[in-house]
Amino acid sequence: MVTPKPGIYPHVPFDEYLAWDALNASTMKHVGKSPAHAKVEIDYPRPPTKDTDAGDAAHCGLLEPERLHADFAVRPTGIDRRTKEGKATWAKFVAENEGKTIIETREHWDMILGMREAGKRHPVFAELVANAKHREVSIVWEDESTGLLCKARPDLLTTYKGWTVCGDLKTTRDARPWSFARDVASYGYHNSAAHYLDGLAALAPRERRHMIAAVEKARPFAIRIYELTDSSIEQGRQENRVRMATWAECLKTGIYPAYSEEIEPLEIPAYAMNYDIWVNEEVA
């Protein structure tokens, strides 16, 4: 697969985007663990699972709801494929849904439909989607400081109240601020936000805002729209810079180190220190 020159590329299949030889936010997150872990993720990519298929369908239902039934279908239940009738019913389902991604469980499908309807009802989210110039667009640029070719795939390039917006969609168990902030830190959403904004700035410099739609995965599929603070974005940017420099050195030397090979001190977490120690007097 030939990696394209720097630019903005709409309508690129995800598998094709993945094959481009360029650094993305996911690889940098693994570099944050160690370059060895990042190299393994590249050399041994994980196959899709039921959960990833459901996640793809949720993105489609929220960002391109008109495409949902064209691209996805739910596996029917109650078909006994050992019987003549069951075999015929199954063959009909396969023929009618050729080329579609099959969602394995009704539970996942109901979640996807619920999210889709919640997205339509949320005024800000619905406006961001309606104003979108691009959905799941692929971008490629060259990082000035390292010379690395980079890539990203923002969920939305849109506008809101006159602002140009790079939008991100994330599903979560709990969209309340104190909980979702932990998701941001744990999954590196601030790193992704900085990566997207820096890539877009390299291709088309202008002032942009970055917004995250946090969508809960259980009824009522509540949605909150967040805008990370400048300090949070800058934290992600600085972490990215360190990881980019590390990865550039790995590519240059062909050496992808894992953890330190020295003996290191380790202390249990602070919360584990804060409890009463009950001593059996007989033992004492």
Is the pLDDT at 186 greater than 90? The verdict is yes
* Last residue in a domain, options 67, 96, 121: 121
- Residue 270: the pLDDT is 87
Residue at 256 is within a domain: no
For residue 102, what are the domain limits? Answer: 48-121
* 93 and 226 part of one domain: no
Residue at 126 is within a domain: yes
Residue at 29 is within a domain: yes
* 133 and 204 part of one domain: yes
Q: Note the pLDDT tens digit of each residue in 203-212.
A: 999 999 999 9
* 153 and 213 part of one domain: yes
Q: Note the pLDDT tens digit of each residue in 8-22.
A: 999 999 999 999 999
Angle between helices 25-33 and 189-203 (to 10 degrees): 140
* Last residue in a domain, options 75, 103, 121: 121
Residue at 213 is within a domain: yes
Provide the CATH number for the domain around residue 154: 3.90.320.10
* 239 and 189 part of one domain: yes
Q: Note the pLDDT tens digit of each residue in 101-145.
A: 999 999 999 999 999 999 999 999 999 999 999 999 999 999 999
pLDDT band at 280 (very low <50, low <70, confident <90, very high): low
Nearest to 257, CA basis, from 42, 33, 35? 35
Is the pLDDT at 161 greater than 90? The verdict is yes
- Residue 87: the pLDDT is 92
Q: What is the pTM of this model?
A: 0.91
Residue at 30 is within a domain: yes
Residue at 273 is within a domain: no
- Count the domains in the chain: 2
- Residue 165: the pLDDT is 98
Q: Which residues contact 56 (CB under 8 A, 6 or more apart)?
A: 14, 72, 101
* Last residue in a domain, options 58, 87, 121: 121
CA distance 172 to 151: 25
pLDDT band at 72 (very low <50, low <70, confident <90, very high): very high
Is the pLDDT at 284 greater than 80? The verdict is no
- Residue 191: the pLDDT is 98
CB atoms within 10 A of CB 46: 7
Nearest to 131, CA basis, from 106, 167, 99, 171? 167
Residue at 275 is within a domain: no
pLDDT band at 281 (very low <50, low <70, confident <90, very high): low
Cis omega before residue 220 (within 30°)? Answer: yes
* 98 and 204 part of one domain: no
Nearest to 171, CA basis, from 55, 251, 66? 55
